């Protein structure tokens, strides 16, 4: 963003103020995440930068909180991780299948009341979680699914589908329907056409929707707070409980692991998005 | 024009054949949407409907005191009711005492009129000593409030199966003796403060997000791809990171001995022993929510700005407009759809925020969601939680409707 030489001084000042402001906003966005990383390696029990850490003394750092996270006595993280993964896995599968199928229907130009259906199917994303949590809790308690994995998975499917519907419909907007007609004219049945032609083409959208659904379920606290019993505790629940009591370095260690995970997910989502744009022939 | 019918290859008139094909396609599309639709209907829409129902459902008391209310139907409420009502009350209370379930009616009746709590408790304690017949006298002997018309009127007032009393409570209003709607006492008007605070926080968070997001979206949209992709990570990484991780990093930053306070002390804005409280108040809620919701503002703004051709600004300049004039007259109006989408999205998300205010907000920074959670988990007044939830839901759906009209729901952009 170099300015031409003849730029007047006041524009120059304005321009650099603008860039500085942008820099600060980016810093505001990203810096809080990086506060957590060093603190998780703290050798002391307190959540602040000790003198030794600031002096980069190796003695100021340790892996003890990671040890505590994995091996600590009566630590809940093992069970929580297992539950989180199981719940997120099934919730992702459920949301992806239901969402993709629905998106196929919604993208068809024959679909009646498209906007109304779309608004309804997206609503779980818009309605505050506290309301969804309350309503789903009453329902699950009534049908005897409160404090079960099944109940939590079903509610996470609901919360995850909007993302799948949105990403898959977005991929389908540029979709050339003549390829499926070509397949049909060559004698392929609809299921075969879907598996061999449509699905590979919309795959990037499906996977990025699935990633959203996974993250939604993996991070979700409010509904689980209402539904979970002791046996169904998840990572976010344990973090929530821990944060309400006090900030412990172990939580920083868990948070660091979660940040690494989200970085990996972000990278895969970005790669998928670019692949999808390439496949659909959108060039910027 | 000749009305000769065109036939398709199998001999059916083309028009009819087309209609059949259309209907088939329509059916196919509907069948594809049906599984998710039914799923959401059963596990989501139906439960929300039940929540609405629960918020107005007031049948508990009539179910628990069936004989009393039966007898009261004939009573006009002017003078003390006759023996029959007291007989019903005796039967009902004896039954409730045997099953130890009278606790529920105490809470409900005390809400209707304070003083019922001790009245029912005392009566239930002594009800075993009652002799047959002449119940009215015995009741009044146990507690003189049974001889006061106002208590019996209050009891009769709980008879309707449906009540919007919880909604009134959510608006700091209640029924008085004569079923008029009045404001509650000055010191108990807490919900109005909460609603206003929630709106206030959502409004300002939206404004802050907008002010911060507009320049960076512009930068992202105008920088060459290789730089903007790199900077986009700063927006997307927080977006993909767990909400609790982001909230906990704010708890680290904002705590009394945290880096921000260290900085404030170091600069000399505050003394070391007088560090400002940045957390557990509304400041913490503002700062953390702004950072957490910022990506939801940047993404729609960015996707709109990306479509604005830079030659428009150049054209403006070449026609003699200063950069400011070109910005105000050309660029800004073109970004309005993005502004609308971003602001509505952030506002909708902010108004129902729960986790962040609960962790960094403290008492003065908690929002309506936190109150709903409190009534769900601690006070167990589920009907009231449902009523507050319904009120919030109506607000959110109204904004959602506007959003749908202005932006179109299928234009939501994710990443």
Q: Give the Cα-Cα-Cα angle B410, B300, B224 (nearest 5 degrees).
A: 125
Using the predicted structure, report yes or no on whether residue B412 has a pLDDT greater than 70: no
Could you give the percent of chain B with pLDDT greater than 90? Answer: 23
How confident is the prediction for chain A on average, in pLDDT?
Answer: 86
For residue A44, give the DSSP letter: S
Count of domains in chain A? 1
Return the residue in A2, A6, A13, A25 with the most chain B beta carbons within 10 A, the one to mutate for interface testing.
A25
DSSP letter for each residue of B366-411: --HHHHHHHHHHTS--HHHHHHHHHHHHHHHHHHHHHHHHHT-GGG
pLDDT above 70 for A63: yes
Predicted pLDDT at A1: 54
Cβ distance of A161 and B409 shorter than 8 Å: no
The CATH number of the domain where A180 resides is what? 1.10.3720.10
- The pLDDT of A44-61, averaged and rounded, is 73
CB distance B110 to B116 below 8 Å: yes
Mean pLDDT of A34-58: 77
Judged by DSSP in three states, A265 sits in helix
Print the domain residue range for A224. 83-279
Q: Across the interface, which of B50, B216, B237 has its CB nearest the CB of A22?
A: B216
Which chain A residues are within 8 Å of B22, Cβ to Cβ? 110
SS (H, E, C) A198-227: HHHHHHHHHHHHHHHHHHHHHHCCHHHHHH
Assigned domain for A26 exists: no
Per the CB < 8 A criterion, the answer to whether A223 and A133 are in contact is yes
CA distance B70 to chain A (A): 30
Residue B100 main-chain phi, psi, to 5 deg: 55, 40
pLDDT of residue A222: 92
CB contact under 8 A, A1 and B412: no
pLDDT digits (tens, 9 = 90+) for B43-75: 999 999 999 998 888 888 888 888 888 888 878
Q: Is the pLDDT of residue B388 over 60?
A: yes
More confident residue, B100 or A169: A169
Instruction: Give the separation between CA B9 and CA B15, rounded to whole angstroms.
Output: 12
Asked whether residue A284 carries a pLDDT value surpassing 50, the answer given is no
Q: Within 13 Å, how many C-alpha atoms sit on residue A94's CB side?
A: 22
Query: Band of the pLDDT at B3, cuts 50, 70, 90?
Result: low
Residue A161 CA to residue A118 CA, distance in Å, equals 11
Stated length of chain A: 284
CA pseudo-torsion sign A61, A67, A69, A73: negative
Q: Averaged over A152-170, what is the pLDDT?
A: 92
In the predicted structure, residue A64 carries a pLDDT above the cut 50: yes
Q: Which of B261, B241, B236, B240 is nearest to B251 (CA)?
A: B261
The mean per-residue pLDDT over the stretch B297-308 comes to: 89
Residue A56 lies in a domain: no
Residue A4 lies in a domain: no
H or E element, residue B86 = helix B83-99
Residue A28 lies in a domain: no
Q: Quick check: B241 and A259 CB within 8 A?
A: yes
pLDDT at A136: 94
Indicate whether A43 belongs to any domain: no
Interface of B with A in 82-121 (CB under 8 A): none
Assigned domain for A25 exists: no
- Check if A257 contacts B (Cβ < 8 Å): no
Size of the A and B interface in Cβ pairs below 8 Å: 271
CB spacing of A135 vs B248 below 8 angstroms: no
- The C-alpha atoms of residue B192 and residue B171 are separated, in whole angstroms, by 6
Q: Which residues contact residue B228 at a Cβ distance below 8 angstroms, ignoring those fewer than 6 apart?
A: B219, B220, B221
Global pTM? 0.85
Tell whether A133 is covered by a domain: yes
φ, ψ for residue B257, nearest 5 deg: -100, 20
Contact A258, B245 (CB under 8 A): yes
Contact A106 B33 (CB under 8 A): yes
How far apart are alpha carbons B302 and B104 in whole angstroms?
A: 55
Contacts of B253 in chain A (CB under 8 A): 32, 35
Closest residue by Cα to residue B355 from B278, B300, B293: B293
Question: Of the spans A79-93, B148-162, B315-329, which averages the highest pLDDT?
Answer: A79-93
Which residues in chain B have Cβ-Cβ distances shorter than 8 Å to A26?
216, 231, 234
Evaluate whether residue A137 is within a structural domain.
yes
Residue B410: band (very low, low, confident or very high) from pLDDT cuts 50, 70, 90: low
- CB contact set of A13 (below 8 Å; sequence gap of 6+): none
User: Regarding predicted confidence, which is higher, A45 or A118?
Assistant: A118
Q: Which residues in chain A (104-143) have CB-CB distances under 8 A to chain B?
A: 104-106, 108, 110-112, 115, 117-124, 126-132, 134-139
Band (pLDDT 50/70/90 cuts) for residue A74 is: low
Q: How many CB atoms lie within 10 A of CB B328?
A: 13
Residue B240 has pLDDT above 50, yes or no: yes
């Amino acid at each position: 963003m170099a300015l031409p030489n003849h730029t007047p001084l006041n524009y120059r000042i304005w321009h650099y103020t603008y860039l500085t402001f942008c820099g600060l906003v980016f810093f505001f966005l990203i810096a809080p995440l990086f506060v957590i990383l060093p603190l998780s390696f703290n050798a002391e029990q307190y959540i602040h930068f000790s003198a030794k850490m600031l002096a980069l003394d190796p003695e100021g750092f340790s892996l003890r909180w990671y040890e505590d996270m994995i091996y600590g006595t009566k630590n809940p993280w093992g069970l929580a991780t297992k539950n989180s993964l199981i719940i997120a896995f099934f919730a992702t599968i459920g949301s992806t299948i239901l969402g993709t199928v629905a998106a196929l229907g919604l993208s068809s130009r024959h679909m009646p009341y498209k906007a109304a259906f779309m608004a309804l199917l997206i609503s779980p994303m818009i309605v505050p979680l506290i309301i969804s949590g309350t309503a789903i809790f009453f329902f699950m308690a009534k049908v005897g699914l409160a404090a079960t994995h099944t109940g939590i998975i079903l509610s996470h499917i609901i919360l995850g589908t909007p993302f799948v519907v949105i990403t898959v419909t977005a991929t389908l907007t540029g979709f050339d329907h003549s390829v499926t007609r070509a397949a049909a004219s060559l004698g392929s049945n609809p299921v075969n056409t879907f598996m061999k032609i449509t699905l590979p083409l919309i795959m990037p959208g499906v996977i990025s929707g699935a990633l959203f659904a996974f993250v939604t379920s993996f991070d979700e606290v409010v509904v689980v707070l209402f539904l979970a019993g002791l046996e169904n505790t998840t990572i976010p629940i344990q973090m929530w409980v821990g944060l309400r009591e006090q900030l412990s370095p172990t939580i920083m260690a868990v948070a660091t692991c979660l940040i690494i995970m989200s970085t990996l997910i972000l990278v895969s989502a970005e790669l998928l998005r670019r692949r999808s744009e390439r496949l659909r022939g959108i060039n910027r | 024009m000749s009305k000769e019918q065109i036939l398709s290859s199998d001999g059916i008139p083309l028009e009819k054949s087309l209609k059949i094909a259309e209907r088939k396609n329509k059916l196919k599309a509907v069948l594809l949407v049906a599984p998710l639709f039914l799923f959401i209907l059963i596990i989501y829409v139906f439960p929300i409907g039940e929540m609405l129902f629960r918020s107005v459902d007031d049948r508990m008391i009539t179910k628990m005191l069936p004989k009393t209310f039966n007898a009261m139907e004939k009573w006009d409420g002017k003078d003390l009711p006759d023996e029959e009502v007291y007989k019903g009350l005796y039967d009902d209370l004896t039954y409730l005492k045997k099953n130890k379930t009278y606790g529920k009616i105490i809470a409900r009746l005390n809400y209707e009129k304070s003083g019922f709590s001790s009245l029912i408790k005392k009566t239930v304690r002594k009800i075993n000593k009652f002799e047959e017949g002449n119940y009215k006298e015995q009741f009044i002997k146990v507690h003189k409030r049974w001889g006061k018309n106002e208590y019996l009127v209050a009891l009769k007032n709980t008879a309707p199966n449906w009540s919007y009393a919880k909604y009134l409570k959510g608006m700091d209003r209640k029924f008085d003796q004569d079923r008029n709607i009045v404001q509650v006492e000055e010191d108990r008007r807490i919900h109005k403060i909460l609603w206003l605070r929630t709106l206030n926080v959502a409004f300002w968070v939206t404004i802050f997000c907008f002010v911060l997001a507009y320049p960076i979206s512009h930068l992202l949209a105008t920088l060459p791809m290789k730089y903007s992709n790199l900077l986009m990570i700063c927006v997307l990484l927080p977006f993909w990171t767990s909400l609790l991780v982001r909230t906990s990093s704010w708890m680290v930053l904002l705590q009394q001995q945290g880096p921000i306070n260290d900085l404030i002390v170091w600069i000399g804005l505050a003394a070391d022993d007088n560090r400002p409280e940045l957390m557990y108040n509304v400041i913490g809620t503002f700062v953390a929510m702004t950072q957490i919701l910022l990506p939801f503002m940047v993404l729609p703004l960015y996707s709109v700005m990306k479509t604005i051709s830079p030659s428009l600004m150049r054209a403006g300049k070449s026609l003699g407009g200063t950069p400011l004039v070109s910005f105000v007259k050309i660029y800004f109006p073109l970004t309005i759809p993005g502004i609308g989408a971003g602001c509505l999205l952030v506002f909708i998300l902010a108004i129902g925020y729960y986790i962040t205010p609960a962790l960094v907000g403290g008492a003065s920074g908690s929002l309506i969601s936190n109150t709903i959670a409190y009534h769900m988990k601690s006070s167990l007044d589920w009907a009231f939680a449902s009523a507050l939830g319904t009120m919030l839901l109506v607000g959110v759906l109204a904004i959602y409707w506007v959003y749908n009209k202005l932006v179109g729901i299928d234009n939501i952009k994710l990443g």
